[in-house]
Amino acid sequence: MPTAPDAPRRAARRPLMAALLCVAALAAACSSSPPSPTASPTPLASLGPTASPSPTPRPTPTYTNPADPALEALIPRRIAGARVNVPSPSQFGLTPGDFGSVFGDIGLRFDALALAYVEKPRLSLYAAHVGGSPVDTDALKPYLAAAGEYVGVHGLHPEAWKAGVVGRTRVWTRGEDVATLAHTTFYCWSSGDYVFLLVGSSDAANRAMVAALPGQAAPSPTLAPSRSISGSPSPAASASASAG
């Protein structure tokens, strides 16, 4: 048995034991608390290549030439007193793709071709229908030299073509020179839906054909503003009239 002097020592250890028990209880409570939820990983952005939009396919040349009654109906049957011959597509071997080869990207959209000719005076006309958006006459400029060579000009001479107006139709034209046959003139123009190339030995007949076919109108000339004229006479004029 412990002796009496140990009683004060046991009494002193009681507060320390109580403190240790409180610390142990707190530690147990902390260890038993539920774990905090773990954040789900953020998915990484796709590292694969981004698909680019596919390019619009270019038109392909048309090497068949179905009859186009609307195109043939545009061509007059007589000009300048001469008969105009309009053969059917089955009577000639050219196709829109053949003729369009000299008109670059525009020619790729030719989908019908009509021909016409006059025997005397000599005249030949090529008329093509253009699919898609309308073509402006100005857009034909880069292809004029090749178009001229297609109908008999010797060599490429883009500088020989000039902008002009026939009637009210805007055209590109080329006159006789050392690279052409005598008295030959050329015309090329668009109506928007149709492209025309014309060559002939009579400029009067050529211009009559241009005037008979559709085209794009030249802009109306801008008139200079007229000077305003006052109805009342000037003071000097009044004085002169009084003196008279």
pTM (two decimals): 0.69
> Mean pLDDT over residues 25-49, rounded?
49
- Alpha carbon 150 to chain centroid, angstroms: 26
* Domain layout of the chain by residue ranges: 69-212
> Mean pLDDT over residues 81-102, rounded?
96
Confidence check: pLDDT of 231 > 70: no
User: What pLDDT is recorded for position 222?
Assistant: 62
- CA within 13 Å, CB half, 169: 23
Nearest to 136 by CA among 188, 84, 183, 181: 188
The whole-angstrom separation of Cα 155 and Cα 108 is 23
> Mean pLDDT over residues 148-169, rounded?
91
% of the chain with per-residue pLDDT over 90 = 58
